[in-house]
Structure 1
């Protein structure tokens, strides 16, 4: 018997502040989150929450990310 897990939530924690750029954009929600050290975002792992990272032109952006799954 095959066991599948369904990702239901995604999370991301910013590990550093970014002075310029580096936002995380949620496309359908038309919103952008500015990276702030310690800030954690949690969102549904569905097509309704497509997102992308905006490049930070002058520094690195560090994140920790993962998913919550139903077994």
Structure 2
């Protein structure tokens, strides 16, 4: 069990170091979630791309909003 805790602590330290290199970690996380949503939406056979996913809903063409 201690070995697992040690590995987790090392990984958290690596993640913390990386987070310090990113100027806006909240934006980085949001973009990562958005990209994942676009990629996983293809499983549902939708045609959303990253550009549309970042637009406010009112700027998306009405016929594309459901995607």
TM-score (norm 1): 0.21
**TM-score where L is the length of structure 2:** 0.22
Report 1 or 2 for greater relative contact order, CA contacts < 8 Å, sequence distance ≥ 6.
1
